[in-house]
Amino acid sequence: MSEENIAEGSADLGEKIVRILKTIYDPEIPVDIYELGLIYDVLVNEDNEVKILMTLTSPNCPVAESLPAEVEEKVKSLNEIKDAEVEITFDPPWTQDLMSEEAKLELGLL
């Protein structure tokens, strides 16, 4: 397999991961966690192990325990993924500025 195909394969995998992330919603806001800007980074290594760096809308978020577990489980459900780990960070803290235009429009902020 050439390097180009490997890069294409990882791009496809990244798109699949994003599609999965877009099925997960913050229970308090009717927008998915990806459009909300809660996902800071998605890293996939050559063994198809995924590490997701994400935040929550606040440290006191009622889903602080369940949301990261849901993200891990849904990403692990992809056949190509060997393992997934979610790391929560509050640096930088989440603000509405991190939301996509689509999310802001959905919430009437534009």
Would you say 84 and 54 are in contact if contact means Cβ atoms under 8 Å apart? no
In a domain, 64, yes or no: yes
94 found inside a domain: yes
Measured between alpha carbons, how far is 61 from 100 in angstroms, rounded to an integer?
20
Residue 29 lies in a domain: yes
Q: Is residue 95 pLDDT above 90, yes or no?
A: yes
Q: Give domain status of residue 80, yes or no.
A: yes
Q: Which tens digit of pLDDT belongs to each residue from 30-79?
A: 899 999 999 999 999 999 999 999 999 888 888 888 999 999 999 999 99
Tally of domains within the chain: 1
Instruction: Give the residue with greater pLDDT, 21 vs 61.
Output: 21
Q: Is residue 108 part of a domain?
A: no
**Within a domain: residue 110?**
no
- Report if residue 31 sits inside a domain: yes
**Could you tell me where the beta strands, DSSP code E, fall in 4-78?**
39-44, 49-54
Which helix (H) or strand (E) segment holds residue 11: the answer is helix 3-21
- Pick the closest to residue 74 from 9, 24, 13, 15 (CA basis): 24
Which of residues 45 and 10 earns the better pLDDT score?
45
Q: The domain spanning residue 48 has which CATH number?
A: 3.30.300.130
